[in-house]
Structure 1
C-alpha cells in the first residue's frame, strides 16, 4: 500500500501546480515537471537503466518496481489533473525483443483517441529513417499492459477519473544483451526521436480531449533543469572560458611584423608570436571526459553538451599543435572546409566589385573617437543588463577591433572611416556583446560560452547588422570575400606570401589589408574560421528568405543548425526571451529587413 503522506504530498503539489519529485522503493521515481495531462509509466522486474532513460526524457513519468502498488497514486494523479484539465492520459511502456524483431505494439481503444493513436503510429513509422526494419501494430484491446502484470487501473476506474490508458511495447533494438552489446550512438538517436514522438502523441490527446493550456507540443518538455545537467554545463563553460582559444591563437606582434614585412618588400614571411598557454591541454581534456554527460536525461541538452565537449577537445588539441600543420588540419574539421557555394559567392563579389572604394575626402576616426561612440552604446546595454559589467579597452596587442565576452578591445593603431562607426558598433556590441549578455541570463551556460560551431551564425548575424544600419560597404563585402579566397588558397597549399600576392595583385586589395587578411588565415598554423563570416551571411539570407524569425537568434551564441533546438527550449520556457538590439527599432532597418525577406543576392546588398 502506498504511503498516505506521499499521496498527500503529491496531491498538494498538483493542487498548487508545483513540480513533483519523489523517490519510491527499490529505485523507483515519480517526476512531474509541471501540470501535464499525461504520464509515462514503466514497471520493471529488474532495473533497466537504458529503458528507464526513454521515459526520463518526458516531463512526467513514473518508473517503479512491478511489485509496488501504484493504483492509488495513479488515481490521485488522474483525479487531480482531470479536475484542472478535464482529462488525463497514461502511457504504459515496456521493453520487448522477439527474435530480434523491431516491432512496436500499441494497445488502445482506437475509437476513443484516434488523433493520439495516429500521431503515435505515424511517428513510429518515421523511425524507419534510422532503422528501416521498424514496424508497428495496433490492437484495439482492454489489455494495455505487459502479459505478466495486472492492468494499472480497471476500465471503470479510468472512466470515473477521466483518464485513458494506452500501452506501448517498445523493441529494444539498441542492445543485444545475449552478446553483451549496447549500441550507444544509436541509442541516443533512438531516445531523442522516440521522446519527440511521445510528446507529439500526447499533444494530440491534449489538443482534442483537454482544456489545452499548451500552444505547441514542445511545451510539454521539461522546464526544470536537474543538478547533473547544470553541473555538466557549468564545467564545460569553465574549461571553455579558461582556454581563451581566440586570444591564444591571435598574434601579439602583428603590427610590428607588418612593418618588417613591408620593409622586406613582401619577400620574407612574418614570424608571429603568441600569448603563452597558461593551462595543460591534457589535464583539461581529462576534466572534459570526467563530465558525466551520459547521465543527462534531456536529449536536447545532452546533444548540446556532447557537441560542445567535442569542440573544446579539438580546440585544446589545436593549442597543443599551435604553429604546426596539424593545427590547420584539426581546424578544418572544426570550422569546415570552404563550401562551393560560399566560394562562388566570394568570387561573385570580387568580380562585381574588382576595386575597393576610396573616396577622395572622408572623415576618419582614431581609436579614441571610435571608443567615445562605442561607450554610448555600451551604456545603453549596461542599463539592460545591470548585473553584467560591460567595458572597452584600448590596447596595443590587438589588431583592429575584437570582443572577448563583454569587453570590447580597440587597437591603439585603429584608423577607420567615420561612416563605418555605427556598423562596427552594431557588429561588435549590438550583436556579439548583446548575444553574450542574453546568453548570460539563461540557466544554460553554453548560451553565452557558445554552442559548437557558433561562430558562423554569430558572424553572419553581425554582418547582417552592418547591412541593416546601412553600413555595409564595398570594402567590407570585399574583405569578407577576400577571407574566403585566402582560406581556400591556404587549404590548397599556398604559402603566406603566395596568398598575400593573390589578394594584393590578383584582387586589388591594398597591401596592408591583404596582409591582415592573410595574417588572420595563417595564424597559429592556419585557421579557416574567417571564412565563416561570409558563409554565415549566406545562410542567414536563405533563412530570412524562407521566413525564419530573426528575434530568437539573439538568445545566445549558437549555430544555424541549433535554431530548432533553441526554439524548442524557448517553447519549453527553459530559456528566457532575449533582449533585442535597439537598432531593430529603426524604421529604415525594418524596411531593409523586409527587403531581405523577399530574397536578394549577395551582390545586391550594396544596391
Structure 2
C-alpha cells in the first residue's frame, strides 16, 4: 500500500485550537483531504479513499462533523487529538467509518459494531437505511457484531483495546452505491437526492441514540446534531434565487393597471361587456431568467434541508416566469393551476358554509370612521414599537395616492389617501399588516437565508392565514372579511369550471349577495392575466392554520419568516440546529384577551366561529 504519511503536528495543534474556539472548522489536508467540524459534537464520520468518489463524499458532507482523507495518510494521531479536545466536554466519542461497496447489484448496508455495545445506535442505523426500500427494491440493512469496522484492505483507525480505554466507540458502515450505475458511473440524480437525505437523517438519529445512552449530555432532539453554519455555496444560491424572484415582480406584472377605469366602463355597460385589462410591460426576458435560474448550483448544496427549500422555490419561480410568458392566454391559467393548485372539496365546502352562515353583508355597527391620517397615527404607534426591536430596518408609514386600500411593501405600510374605514377595524388591520406581514419580514431579515424574507414556495397561503388569525385574536375579525375570503374561492371554482367573467360576477351578486363593486374586484383578481387561482389560497391558509393549532402546532415558530404550513417541520429543524434565530413575537400576544382566544384555537374552532 506504500509508505504512510502522517499529519503534521503543527496542523493538528492548529485544528485543536480552532475546535476549542467553538467556531466552525474547515481544514484542507494533504492529498485533497478535508476536515469539517461545525461545533462541539461527540462524533465524527470518516471516509478514507483511494480515488475520491465525489458523490460518496457528499454523503458525509451532510453531517456536522466529518473527515474525508486519502487512505495513505495516517490519521491516528489527528483522530486522537480531536477526541481528547472533544472529551473536555463529552465523556465518550463515536467514530463512524463509512466506505462504498461498489459491487454490482449489492443492496445491503452492513453495519459493523462491537458485540453488546451501542445496540441502540446500530438499530437506529438499520432502521434508517431500511427506509430506502420504499423506493429501491431489496434494500436491507444488517448488523454484524464481529464484522470489520473498516475497509478490508485498510488497517483499523484504532485497535479495540485502545478504543475501550479511551471511551471511543468504532462503528463501520459499508454502504451500497445504489445511486449510480456501477458500469458506466452514471448518476441516478433524483434517487441520489433521496439517498443523501435518508443518509443524513439516519446518521444524526444514530448519533443521537449514542449520546442519549452513553453520555449525560442533554440534546433535546436529534436535529440539534445537524449543521449550524451555512457555507458560501448555499449563501450564493440563496441570494441568486432571491434576486431573480425580486426582479420578476410577478404579482405586480399580473395585476391590471386600469382596474378602476374598467370598473366604471363595466358599470356603464350594465355589466354586459367583459372588461379589457391592461398590464405593465414585462421588462425581463423570461427565457434568460430561466437560464440564470438553472445555472444556480443547488445540486452542490450539502445541506439536504436547505437544498429542498431552494429547489422548491426555484420550481415556483420557473412556473411564474412561464406564466409571464403566457400572460393573457389559456396557458397562463393551466400553469397557474399546477403552481397554486385547484379547489379541493373541503375548501369549497368551507367556503359555502361561510356564505350559508352569513348570507348577507354585515352592516357597520359604528358610525365612527377613520380617514387616512387618523389610521396612520394609530399604525405609527405599532411601527414605533417594532422599530425599537429592529432598529436597522427603518420601518415606516406612508400615505399615497397610488395604492389600493392598505398594503405592505417590505418594511413600509402604505395607505391610500382616500381611505375611510370603520374605527372598530383599526386594530385588526394593524395587526394583520404590521403585526404579521411586516413582523415576519423583519424576522426573516435577521436570518441567514434570504428566502426567509423573500418567501418560500407558496408562502402567501400561511401568511394570509396567520394575518386573518391575528384579526380574530384581537377581536376584530368580521363577517365581511370571512365572506370575502369565501367569495374568492367560489370565484376561482367558477373560473376553473369554465364560466365567463360576467357569469362569475353575476353569480357572486345574485346567489351570494356581494355588492356589484366587491363582486367586480373579486372577479377581476381571479380572471387577471388569463385566470389566476391564487386567491383561493387565503381561505385555504386559514383552514390549514386552524388544523395546525388544533393539532398542537407551535404558533410562535410561524413568525420566524415567510413560508408555508408545509414547511413548518423544516423550520423547526433549522431552529433546533440554530441555523435560524428565534423570532420576535407580535406584542398583541401579550394581551390577556388574546391568550383566551388562543386557547380556544388550540381546543379547536370551526371557521364560522371565528367571527366575534
| Among candidates 141, 144, 149, match of residue 146 of structure 2 | 141
Q: Pick from 204, 223, 233: which aligns with 1:228?
A: 233
CA deviation map 1:495-529 (0-9, x unaligned): 11111111011100011111111111112221111
Which of residues 198, 203, 215 is equivalent to 1:198?
203
Pick which of 449-458 and 385-394 moved more.
Answer: 385-394
> What is the correspondence of 1:538-549 to structure 2 with a 5 Å cutoff?
538-549=543-554
CA contact 1:252–1:398 (8 Å) conserved in 2: no
Q: Which residue of 1 aligns with 2:165?
A: 160
Q: Could you tell me how far apart the structure 1 residues matched to 2:126 and 2:195 are? A: 16
Kept in 1, the 8 Å contact 2:242–2:450? The answer is yes
TM-score (norm 1): 0.97
Q: Which moved more, 1:169-178 or 1:402-411?
A: 402-411
The residue that corresponds to 2:180 in the other structure is 175
After the TM superposition, which residues 242-257 of structure 1 pair with which residues of structure 2 at under 5 Å, given as runs?
A: 242-257=247-262
RMSD of equivalent CA atoms = 1.5
Is the partner of 1:26 in helix, strand or coil?
coil
Distance 1:476 1:146 in 2: 66
Match of 2:3 in 1: none
Contact 1:82 1:161 survives alignment (8 Å): no
Give the deviation of 1:322 after TM superposition.
1.8
Shift of 1:181: 2.6
Is the Cα–Cα contact under 8 Å of residues 266 and 272 in structure 2 kept in the other structure?
Answer: yes
TM-score, normalising length from structure 2?
Answer: 0.96
Aligned partner (choices 477, 484, 489) of residue 479 of structure 1: 484
Change (3 A) 1:15 1:230: same
| Residue number among 510, 516, 520 corresponding to 1:511 in the alignment | 516
Give yes or no for contact 2:254–2:279 (8 Å, CA) kept in 1.
yes
Matching residue of 1:262: 267
Q: Does structure 2 conserve the Cα–Cα contact (< 8 Å) formed by 1:54 and 1:191?
A: yes
Task: Give 1:373 shift.
Answer: 2.1
Separation in 1, partners of 2:51, 2:102: 16
Q: Give the Cα–Cα distance (whole angstroms) in 1 for the partners of residues 273 and 404 of structure 2.
A: 21
From 443, 451, 460, the equivalent of 1:455 is 460
Structure 2: 5+ residue stretches without partners: 1-5
Between the aligned partners of 2:215 and 2:446, the Cα distance in structure 1 is 34
Could you tell which deviates more after superposition, 84-93 or 309-318? 309-318
- 1:347 and 2:346 are equivalent in the alignment: no
- 2:438 is aligned to 433
CA-to-aligned-CA distance 1:526-555 (integer Å, 9 cap, x gap): 111111110000000000000001000000
User: How far did residue 228 of structure 1 move?
Assistant: 0.7
**301, 306, 318: which is aligned to 2:323?**
318
Please give the alpha-carbon distance, in whole angstroms, between the structure 1 residues aligned to 2:279 and 2:416: 16
The CA distance in 2 between the partners of 1:413 and 1:500, in whole Å, is: 26
Count of aligned residue pairs for this structure pair: 607
- In 2, are the aligned partners of 1:252 and 1:397 still within 8 Å (CA)? no
Alignment of 1:369-448 (within 5 A): 369-448=374-453
Q: 1:18-167, aligned counterparts within 5 Å?
A: 18-141=23-146, 143-167=148-172
Structure 1, unpaired ranges of 5+: none
| Alpha-carbon separation, structure 1, partners of 2:11 and 2:218 | 27
TM-superposed deviation, 1:83: 3.1
- The whole-number CA distance in structure 2 between the counterparts of 1:332 and 1:414 is 34
Q: CA deviation at 1:142?
A: 5.8
- Are 2:104 and 2:182, in contact at CA under 8 Å, matched by a contact in 1? no
SS at the partner of 1:311? helix
Distance in 2, matches of 1:418 and 1:291, equals 49
Q: Is 446-455 or 12-21 further displaced after alignment?
A: 12-21
What is the alpha-carbon distance in structure 1 between the residues aligned to residue 56 and residue 121 of structure 2?
A: 22
Indicate conservation of the 8 Å contact 1:253/1:397, yes or no: no
Shift of residue 360 of structure 1? 6.7
**Which shifted more, 175-184 or 63-72?**
175-184
Shift in CA distance, 405/168, structure 1 to aligned 2, threshold 3 Å: same
Residue 414 of structure 1, CA deviation: 2.7
SS in 2 for 1:214: coil
Residue 414 of structure 2 aligns to a residue whose secondary structure is: strand
> Quick one: distance in 1 between partners of 2:56 and 2:236?
24
Q: Per the alignment, do residues 389 and 243 of structure 1 end up closer, same or farther by CA in structure 2, a change over 3 Å counting?
A: farther
In 2, the alpha carbon distance for the partners of 1:276 and 1:409 equals 23
- In the alignment, does 2:525 pair up with 1:496? no
Please name the residue that 2:569 is paired with: 564
The one of 362, 367, 380 aligned to 1:362? 367
Contact 1:343–1:484, Cα closer than 8 Å, also in 2: yes
Alpha-carbon distance in 2 for matches of 1:318, 1:383: 40
**Where does residue 242 of structure 2 map in the other structure?**
237
- How far does residue 200 in structure 1 lie from its aligned partner after superposition? 0.5
User: Would the alpha carbon gap of residues 361 and 83 (structure 1) be closer, same or farther in structure 2, given more than 3 Å must change?
Assistant: closer
**Greater Cα shift, 364-373 or 481-490:** 364-373
Picking from 527, 533, 539, the partner of 1:528 is 533
